[in-house]
Structure 1
Amino acid sequence: MKNVNEFKGKKIIVLGLARSGRAVALLLDKLGAEVTVNEGQALEESPQARELVEKGIRVVAGGHPLELLEEGFELMIKNPGIPYSHPMVTAAKSKGLPIWTEVEVASRVYPHSLIGITGSNGKTTTTMMVAAILEEAGSQPVLAGNIGFPASEVLPEVGADQQVVMELSSFQLMGVEEFHPHIGVITNILPSHLDYHESFEEYIQAKWTIQAQMTQDDFLILNGDQALSQELAPGSKAQVLIFSTKEKVNGAYLEQGDLVYQGERIMAAADLGVPGEHNIQNALAAILVTKLLGIDNQVIESALSRFSGVRHRLQEVGTVDGIQFYNDSKSTNILATQKALSGFDNARVILIAGGLDRGNDLSDLLPDIQGLKALVTLGQVGPRLELLAQEAGVASHPAQEVVAATKLAFELAEKGDVVLFSPANASWDMYKNFEERGEVFLAAVKELAEK
């Protein structure tokens, strides 16, 4: 850990706990800051808050009193999930307080170079692909940020011989100032989280912040299949490398079924361990990162051919009576489900989809569901999906929840078919988050396998 004095004696308020809030509070306390944590949960309901109190850190729990901000704080560290419209945040802004996320604090104590990966879709899979390649090469990659462990918990302990790979959300990137990856990746930028961001333009700017501190000695990897990337690229000081499934570019690309880096064949796209065009894009991005790190082609091919996906992200669950099951609970928007379907023959797919109805236009999904063997619908948006299926000429079957949907899809399937759980909608009408929803699906498949 780099010896940092900038936080010593500084009055800092940490807004919101969870794992990242706990981690940054402990780090700031270690760095000599005068820390106050403000947590909405009551003290008796929050083990993390009680732990901090036991360690001598001040915690104001059970609400967010605005008068707390009259105590002369110099900096606010905000939990990424707390929106900027929150009264405590707007009050802090009105007082001129800098508002960071814990990623910024962690990066200031970390003396080595790191990899930062963001994007609307694919960032987790790309991060895990990079980690898999590094592991195959004999390295010990450290995952941090939006995946693995909070940066404030991990970065102070990482040695110079380890490579940090960080997945970063737009929520985290909105709260950085000096954060500086040596290699940055933006997998894609698509309208997302617009209930958090005031506009798509604000969301784009949040993602683009990943390269704000980059210099000509750094590398920025962008998606050449997106016109937006081409528009943004000239605005970066970093060396820009491109990945594309459509054309030969300065970087990594798909050519006659092969994944190619600057003219060097790496592997056949068909040999990737995970299906779908989107995973070809993710793999091309991971190839660019690891070639910049000097990894051998054979190592990359070996790792990517054995990569089986990420939990809840087009995760191959297994086969029951000759029927394959895939868990893509992370698909909370139409584009993610479109990409998931691109890896399969619709005639052999029973798709389970549905969830929270945000009033989105579903018509974009119409061409992608045509030819499906069947569609099993769920949740608030289920009736609208049934109408879409009718328009597509696809048989639809409503289900009340994920377990029932999984059993119904299994009954509709035959040997050689695929049951794809890719909801295309958020989970919050029925489940706490996509992880919980995905775990229910995994348990349902396990139950089918044990019968």
Structure 2
Amino acid sequence: MQKVTKYQNKKVLVMGFGISGINAAHLLVKLGADVTANDAKDNPKVQSDLESDGIKVITGSNPLSLADAGFDLVVKNPGIPYDQPLVAKFVKQGTPIITEAELGSEIFDGHLVSVTGSNGKTTTTTLIQKMLDHSPERTAKYAGNIGVSFSKVAEGLSKDDYLVTELSSFQLLGTPTLHPHIAVITNIFSNHLDYHKTRENYINAKLNITRNQTKDDYLVINWDRDEWQHIARRSNATIVPFSRQNKSHDGAYEEDGTIYWRGDAIMQAKDIRLIGPQNVENALAAIAAAKLSGVDDADIVDVLTHFGGVRHRLQFVLEDEGRLFYNDSKSTDIEATQVALRGFDQPVILLAGGLDRGYTFERLEDDFKKHVKAIIVFGQCKDKMKAAATEAAVPVIEESENCITAVPQAWKLSKPGDVILLSPANASWDQFPNFEIRGDKFVKAVEKLTGKKEQA
């Protein structure tokens, strides 16, 4: 852990009692700060934990008066938008606002690899960590938006260790000094515009991952769209492309079904255990980061031939009477569901729907025509999803209360050889607190229906 003195005797407000906020508050105390923690909801257990460390706690609201309390710094939960009244007041008066990821990057003095993108972040982060950690000569951990506190993990690592961090656009907005040696951008679509307001704002947030990099660092980036190539040129780092469409041989790429690293064959793409073209892209990104870190081909191949996927991200659940069940609850946008559908040659019974964010689903129509034999819709946007399915002439369109009740309906519509896929194309918040709970409920429903346990 790097010695950091800049927070000594500083008055710091931590906003939000998520995992990152709680760990940030405790870390700041260790770094000598005078810490106040605030959350709009009451949480007696967390409050007791924080107060035991000498932290002042304010719950039940976000009082605007806090902006007049003389704080030197705000550490904000990434999910709290900048137009939230208290945050907006801090912004207006020029109080610095960071996220917990910034604290983690400041105290970590080892080898930092950071991953961002619209889709594929978690799978790519996990693959890199597994490749780096495969050899006993290295210790590698993952943290960040993957559900593990960046700062908490960073505290326990040495300068010889590797840390692979998944970073969302929300986190990256508050990381002014973040400096990964290897940064990875999997892709950039148009996500979270309700938060960022414009696509350019979203892109700029993503590019914070490379803002402090120099030519001695590396930016690994998807080379398969002209826009992403232009985005790469905004970085000062050494660019290392990866391409599934064989658009560059300067990094990792696929050509005629073979995976290469700078001209040297690594393995056959068909031998990657993860299904779908999107996971070939994720593997290519991970290979680039791993090779830049000195990982042997044998370790890379072993990981890619055995790793079965991250929970809720096109996760194979189980097979029963010839039906294959997949949990892709993490697909909270149209592009992710398109990618999921394109990964299957078998007929798909799709379970989709969720929070209505105001958009419609015409972009899914071609994929519905090619892959979907039946669709079961639910949630706030079910009528819009049904309209797209109708336009695509999906043979069977049904409604259900949610993804749990949709499971037995899907079974009745299925035949051996079919895929039953939860890939909602929408956020979960109309019916579930998060996509993880939605996915877990789906898996439990599949287990109840089949009498089998999900495969590890």
TM-score, structure 1 length as denominator? 0.96
Equivalent in the alignment of 1:338? 338
Structure 2 CA distance, aligned partners of 1:359 and 1:70?
A: 37
Runs of at least 5 residues in structure 1 that lack an aligned partner in the other structure:
none
CA displacement at 1:86 relative to structure 2: 1.1
Equivalent in the alignment of 2:207? 208
Higher mean C-alpha displacement, 200-209 vs 64-73? 64-73
Structure 1 CA distance, aligned partners of 2:300 and 2:242?
A: 16
Do the aligned residues in 2 keep the contact of 1:248 with 1:254 (CA within 8 Å)?
no
Structure 2 CA distance, aligned partners of 1:428 and 1:389?
A: 23
Equivalent in the alignment of 1:259? 259
2:118 aligned with 1:120: yes
Q: Structure 1 residue runs of 4+, over 4 Å off?
A: none
Equivalent in the alignment of 2:434? 433
Please give the per-residue CA displacement for 1:96-129, whole angstroms capped at 9, x wherever unaligned: 1111011112211222220000001000110111
Do the aligned residues in 1 keep the contact of 2:108 with 2:159 (CA within 8 Å)?
no
Equivalent in the alignment of 2:272? 272
Structure 2 CA distance, aligned partners of 1:404 and 1:427?
A: 15
Equivalent in the alignment of 2:34? 34
How do 1:61-72 residues align onto structure 2 when only pairs under 5 Å count? 61-72=59-70
Equivalent in the alignment of 1:287? 287
CA displacement at 1:148 relative to structure 2: 4.0
Structure 2 CA distance, aligned partners of 1:382 and 1:91?
A: 38
Equivalent in the alignment of 1:156? 155
Higher mean C-alpha displacement, 235-244 vs 146-155? 146-155
Structure 1 CA distance, aligned partners of 2:25 and 2:281?
A: 37
Equivalent in the alignment of 1:73? 71
CA displacement at 1:69 relative to structure 2: 2.3
State which of 91, 102, 105 in structure 2 corresponds to 1:104: 102
Please give the per-residue CA displacement for 1:295-346, whole angstroms capped at 9, x wherever unaligned: 1112111110111111000001010112111000011111101100111125
Q: Matched residue pairs, number?
A: 448
How do 1:15-414 residues align onto structure 2 when only pairs under 5 Å count? 15-42=15-42, 45-138=43-136, 139-249=138-248, 250-346=250-346, 348-371=347-370, 372-394=372-394, 395-414=396-415
Name the SS for the 1:326 alignment partner: strand
Higher mean C-alpha displacement, 374-383 vs 132-141? 132-141
Work out the percentage of aligned pairs sharing the same amino acid: 45
Structure 2 CA distance, aligned partners of 1:376 and 1:209?
A: 39
CA displacement at 1:21 relative to structure 2: 0.8
Structure 2 CA distance, aligned partners of 1:46 and 1:284?
A: 46
Do the aligned residues in 2 keep the contact of 1:18 with 1:48 (CA within 8 Å)?
no
Code of the residue aligned with 2:89 in structure 1: it is A
Please give the per-residue CA displacement for 1:351-384, whole angstroms capped at 9, x wherever unaligned: 1111122231311100001142211212222222
Do the aligned residues in 1 keep the contact of 2:360 with 2:385 (CA within 8 Å)?
no
CA displacement at 1:214 relative to structure 2: 0.4
Structure 2 CA distance, aligned partners of 1:95 and 1:83?
A: 17
Code of the residue aligned with 2:416 in structure 1: it is K
| Cα 1:96–1:385 shift into 2, 3 Å | closer
Please give the per-residue CA displacement for 1:210-268, whole angstroms capped at 9, x wherever unaligned: 00110111000111012222112222111001011112411111100111110111111
Code of the residue aligned with 2:427 in structure 1: it is A
Do the aligned residues in 2 keep the contact of 1:248 with 1:255 (CA within 8 Å)?
no
Runs of at least 5 residues in structure 2 that lack an aligned partner in the other structure:
none
Name the SS for the 2:421 alignment partner: strand
Name the SS for the 1:370 alignment partner: helix
Structure 2 CA distance, aligned partners of 1:199 and 1:406?
A: 37
Code of the residue aligned with 2:451 in structure 1: it is E
Do the aligned residues in 1 keep the contact of 2:348 with 2:420 (CA within 8 Å)?
yes
Do the aligned residues in 1 keep the contact of 2:98 with 2:174 (CA within 8 Å)?
yes
Do the aligned residues in 2 keep the contact of 1:276 with 1:342 (CA within 8 Å)?
yes
Structure 2 CA distance, aligned partners of 1:330 and 1:27?
A: 30
Do the aligned residues in 1 keep the contact of 2:111 with 2:161 (CA within 8 Å)?
no
